[in-house]
Structure formats: C-alpha cells, structure tokens
Amino acid sequence: MSEPRLVGVLGGMGPAATVDFYGKLVEETAATCDQGHVPIVIWGDPRVPDRSLSLLGGGEDPTPYLRRGIEALKRAGCEVLAVPCNTAHAFVPRLADEAGLELVSIIEVTADALAADGVGAAGVLATTGTLRAGLYADALRRRGVEIVEPDAPGQRQVMAAIGAVKSGGARPAHRRALAEVSRSLADRGAERIVTACTEIVLALDVSRVPVPVLDPARLLARRVADVALG
C-alpha cells in the first residue's frame, strides 16, 4: 500500500464550515485505527476578505491571503489541496497551480456527482459571488446539467442565512427561508438541491426539501480521502 499523501486544507472561510469539513473527512475515510486516516494540515485564517464581495466589485481582493495560506501548506509538505469554501474556487485554482499542489475542486466533484446520477437540472444555493462568477453554471453546463438559481428575493434570503451561520448560528426563520427557496427551485424543475456554500448545509433542514439535497463538503471529503489514500 502506498504512503498516504499529506493534504492541506485551506480553511477559515468560515471557521464552522472548516470544522464541519474535517468531521466529514473523518467519516468518509474507511479507517479502522488512527493510522488509517488522512494526514492533514489545516490553515484556518478567518481574516481572508469576503470572497463574494470581492467578486461583486465591492471588497478587498482575497488573493494575497489565499496565496499566503497555500504557500504555507506547501512548505508544510502538503501535496493535495482541499478548500471547503465554494466561492474561493474563483481564486484558488491558479494559486494551486502556482504552488504545484493538486487541487481537489469542490465544484468539479459536485458536478461529477450530478452528472453521474443523470441529473438534468440542479438547484444551486450559493453566495451571490459564486453565482455571478458562474462557477457552478460553467461546470454543470459542460456536463449537460441545467442550473436553476433563486430569484432576487430568494437570493437575499440565502445570503441572510449564510451570514447567520458565520455569526454564530442560523435561527428558525433562516432555516424556514432556506427550505422555502429550495422548494421553489424544485417547483421550477430542479431534481437536486446543491448546498453550494459550506455554511448552507449547517442551516438547511433537508427533511423539508422535496428533492434530494447534495452536500458538496461531503462529496469533497470523499474524493479527498480517495486521492490521499489511493
């Protein structure tokens, strides 16, 4: 059996999502002892400027902060990079290439799963920056999957729920709103709901959604375990 590859996790965006991702990585690893798990280094820097605001032209460029984290993970000996923040994927592929790290993309992993299931249309709950950058739209359309996005009022509710998780936890009103937006996407033809922001999965009650819900953080964890352990 080959030696496990050291994985760098570029986290802190946000902290709760980073903790959630590591828990899912442990769950998705077929290990029978400590030594069978994926070796990782977590760089958790919550000072990274808001990725969505930057993409919308109203915030500081997060690139220098992301580059600093990736370079630190490289110096630590990491070979594989995982980023449990969807919006950051507008910036990190180029930086991973610069550092010579193999990026396991949360976007591509999720698009692969939808295509493998034969899904024709997927509803995407994400930050406004992720949607405007077309991260999921591009990946899904390359695989013949239609993207269904919230309308403007629904997107405001999504962003409010994301902000609530980042500030300590979503309230019942946020959970109800996310479920309502999800149902509206299903009514418009979405066969799956993608929680395409790693905070959303911490606030959405999947039992109130009429179609299956995909968790990109779990899909990323599963793929990272496969890549790291061979």
Helix (H, G, I), strand (E, B) or coil at 49: coil
Per-residue pLDDT of the chain (230 residues; tens, 9 = 90+): 579 999 999 999 999 999 999 999 999 999 999 999 999 999 999 999 999 999 999 999 999 999 999 999 999 999 999 999 999 999 999 999 999 999 999 999 999 999 999 999 999 999 999 999 999 999 999 999 999 999 999 999 999 999 999 998 889 999 999 999 999 999 999 999 999 999 999 999 999 999 999 999 999 999 999 999 98
Catalytic residue among 66, 96, 197, 202: 197
Catalytic residue among 7, 85, 95, 109: 85
Helix (H, G, I), strand (E, B) or coil at 224: helix
Query: Which residue in 201, 203, 193, 204 sits closest to 221, CA to CA?
Result: 201
The torsion defined by the Cα of 97, 221, 10 and 130, in degrees rounded to 10, comes to 80
Active site (annotated) includes residue 33: no
